């Protein structure tokens, strides 16, 4: 299956979920999306249609963003 990685992963998760849900038995599906993570060599950016919905300069950072973790175990 070809396509944008996260779209393919989501489609496969839905395909997996359909019969599993109908079986009526508990299951776990752990789906880790790749966008917008970096691996040191490549930046995997979200699709432009999603990036255009938000102004990154106006997005608040969590209060722990710059935490040096010095007093954390």
Kindly list the averaged pLDDT for each block of 10 residues, start to end, along the chain of length 73: 78 83 80 66 70 85 80 79
Q: Is residue 41 part of a domain?
A: yes
Instruction: Give the separation between CA 17 and CA 23, rounded to whole angstroms.
Output: 10
* Full domain range(s) for residue 37: 27-51
What domain count does the chain have? 1
Residue 35 located in a structural domain: yes
pTM (two decimals): 0.42
Q: Judge whether 18 lies within some domain.
A: no
- Residues present in the chain in total: 73
Taking each continuous run of H as one helix and of E as one strand, the counts in the chain are: 2, 0
44: burial class by Cβ within 10 Å (0-12, 13-18, 19+)?
A: middle
Q: Is residue 73 part of a domain?
A: no
The token pair that represents 48 in the structure block: 């432009």
Domain-located, residue 33: yes
Q: Does 46 fall in a domain?
A: yes
> What is residue 38's predicted lDDT score, i.e. its pLDDT?
54
């Amino acid at each position: 299956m070809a396509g944008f990685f996260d779209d393919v992963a989501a489609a496969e998760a839905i395909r997996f979920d359909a019969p599993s849900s109908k079986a009526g038995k508990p299951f776990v599906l752990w789906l880790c999306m790749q966008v917008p993570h970096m691996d040191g060599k490549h930046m995997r950016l979200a699709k432009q249609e999603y990036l255009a919905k938000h102004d990154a300069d106006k997005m608040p950072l969590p209060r722990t963003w710059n935490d040096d973790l010095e007093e954390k175990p």
